[in-house]
Amino acid sequence: MWKNGEHSRNRTLPPPAERAGSSKSRHCHLRNNDISKPTQKMTCATPNKASKRRPNICRREICLLAWALLTSSSAFGAGWHGNVSFVSDYQYRGYTKSRSAPVVQGRLDFDHESGWYAGAAVSQVGFDDKPSPDRAHFEARPYLGWALGLSPDWQADLTASGYLYDGRVFDQSAHYAEISGAVTFRNWLTGRIALAPDAYQRNCDVLTYETQARYDLLDNLQLSAGLGFHQAAKLLDHDYFYWNSGLTWYPTNHLSFDFRYMDAQIQAAHEVHEFTEFYPRPIENKWVLSVSLGF
């Protein structure tokens, strides 16, 4: 998923939620989705039965996306990267964007030797808003960034990204932008700060702080863990911590499996009185599996 977030220079496939940082060059075909991942028990009102419908999977669009990404390496050449992922739950900074249902995600991006990079990621979504014909089912995240090597041990990243939806989220237009900066030490420890002005067009600015650590247990097996703080009281009535830990296995240079535990901590209860109020479904003690095919 696009952990949280979160367009790090990591070419390894991230856990479905806020994964950041870089991995070994042998996995350069797989890049961090942020589509991130990083999630928890939040206490809030239980969604009504109608809202529990699972996001529809548009098979034709997914097949076209998979075909385009898998053939684009020969079509575009060096500098282009992409992947297609199946994720058991689209977790994002302590809440789910898919009502705990599996989704298909994809990404295509280009890296220039000067350090500039750009691309776009897409994912199915399904919020707990009132079912309607103009309800959002897809999210697109275009992004533009610059990676700078500060020294042999340190690297910095600056990224500007957007969150675009094909419909309304909780009965409102929800397109918004985010800027983020990250610093990575020796490819194993990453810190990141992200700011989303007017997040989901709810007249509030949201700050996110994240750190992620990675350790290679074997040549093709990596252990990683992350901790984040979502300063989102104006949006969700709470500031809270979220965290994740898991294993990523690379059986081949084009395939990865990620199995990850995610949770978060909410400080107080929140009651939802109407479906126009933004409050996505929280997560608690969640295990998330993702399978990714990339180049």
Residue 209 confidence (pLDDT): 98
Domain of residue 43 covers 25-294
Residue 63: CATH number of its domain: 2.40.160.40
Digits of tens for pLDDT over the chain (295 positions)?
Answer: 444 434 344 443 443 333 333 333 333 333 343 434 333 333 333 334 333 444 444 545 555 555 555 554 445 556 899 999 999 999 999 899 998 899 999 999 999 999 999 999 999 999 887 777 888 999 999 999 999 999 999 999 999 999 999 999 988 999 999 999 999 999 999 999 999 999 999 999 999 999 999 999 999 999 999 999 999 988 888 899 999 999 999 999 999 999 999 998 875 445 544 555 777 888 788 999 999 999 8
Residue 111 lies in a domain: yes
Residue 8 lies in a domain: no
Quick one: DSSP state of residue 208?
E
Residue 7 lies in a domain: no
Give me the amino acid identity at 104: V
Residue 12 lies in a domain: no
Residue 153 lies in a domain: yes
pTM of the model: 0.76
Residue 277 confidence (pLDDT): 72
What's the CA gap between 104 and 124, in Å, rounded? 6
Residue 60 confidence (pLDDT): 53
Residue 274 confidence (pLDDT): 54
Residue 65 confidence (pLDDT): 53
Buried b (16+ CB within 10 A) or exposed e, 229-264: bbebeebbbbebbbbbebebebeeebbbebebebbb
Give me the amino acid identity at 267: Q
What's the CA gap between 7 and 4, in Å, rounded? 8
**Closest by Cα among 237, 239, 234 to 271:** 237
Residue 97 lies in a domain: yes
Q: Identify whether the C-beta of residue 172 lies closer than 8 Å to the C-beta of residue 165.
A: no
Residue 99 lies in a domain: yes
End-to-end Cα spacing for the chain: 16
Residue 19 lies in a domain: no
**Domain total for the chain?**
1
Residue 7 confidence (pLDDT): 39
